[in-house]
Amino acid sequence: MGQPEWYRNAKSYWANVSPTINGMLGGFAVVDPVDVKGSLQFVDEFVYGVHGANNVLLKAPVIERSYACDCGAGIGRVTKNFLRKVPFDCVDLVEQDPKFVDQAKTSYLADEIKRGTVGQVICAGLQDFTPEKGKYDLIWCQWVLGHLTDDDLVAFFKRCVEGLKPNGLIGVKENNSSTDYVVDEEDSSVTRPNEALKRIFERAGLELVKEQAQQGLPAGLFTVRMYMLTRATS
């Protein structure tokens, strides 16, 4: 399948998905609380540091909590249930489907937008998105990167690095296949094995600082891993 067709087919697939939590999670709305809990625990040390006995600070926080970006945001489930509960002061969203963007703006995140805790809701595919330079403490990408080709994913990560503050981080949460790429022709996505994702991180000039599997998901689903990434130092 050619690259333009690959992206057109993905766009067509999501155009027929309902703008609901169940739609965002492929019929598995039940995983939302488990997913959110795992994500909050994963980022905690980077936001609040690591504390020992008597609340002694053993490791300082890495990032501030000013700005985050939710990439492939859908209607904003990750923004509302995770990023705003960290909490980041303001979260921008990037989503290519106009129906999801409208649902986020007019209903699902309407209150957050009024309060200013949700900023921009950008209608764009990640293959075309360039973040504002030096803006974000955290750019979070969840269950979306399988829609990008390897080369486009490398290019996307390189643009994201430019969108980070000096100590900013990129968080990735994606399904992992066991040994090889698994292609889903229906929604134009690919599930990558763990090592393939790590090679892409390296190609993009990223250093992996933490990796963790999500626990508590229903049996029969792909393994889900979280990765925290920073600019490579050399």
3-state secondary structure of 34: helix
The verdict on whether residue 120 carries a ligand-binding annotation is no
Q: Give the residue extent of every domain in the chain.
A: 3-231
Q: Low-confidence residues of the chain, pLDDT below 50? A: 1
Query: What b-and-e string marks burial along 90-115, b requiring 16 or more CB atoms within 10 Å of the CB?
Result: bbbbbbbbebbbebbbeebbeebbee
57 among the known binding-site residues? Answer: no
- Taking the C-alpha atoms of residue 219 and residue 97, their distance in angstroms, rounded to an integer, is 30
Which residues pair with residue 67 across a beta bridge?
A: 90
Average pLDDT score, the chain: 97
Over residues 26-48, the pLDDT tens digits come to: 999 999 999 999 999 999 999 99
**Residue spans of alpha helices (H) in 95-175:** 98-103, 110-115, 150-162
CA distance 72 to 189: 13
Q: Which fold has domain 3-231?
A: Rossmann fold (3.40.50)
Instruction: Look up the pTM and report it.
Output: 0.97
Please report the pLDDT score of residue 1 as a whole number.
Answer: 46
Separation of alpha carbons 19 and 24, rounded Å: 7
Residue for token digits 């904003």?
A: 76
Residue 126 annotated as binding site: yes
pLDDT in tens, 187-208: 999 999 999 999 999 999 999 9
Give the separation between CA 30 and CA 71, rounded to whole angstroms: 22
pLDDT the model gives residue 233 = 87
pLDDT of residue 2: 55
Residue 4's pLDDT is what?
87
∠ CA 233-71-139, rounded to 5°: 30
DSSP E strand stretches across the chain: 50-51, 57-59, 67-71, 90-95, 118-123, 136-142, 164-177, 182-184, 189-193, 206-213, 223-231
Q: Which of 120, 173, 128 is nearest to 148 (CA)?
A: 128
Chain-centroid distance, C-alpha 83: 10
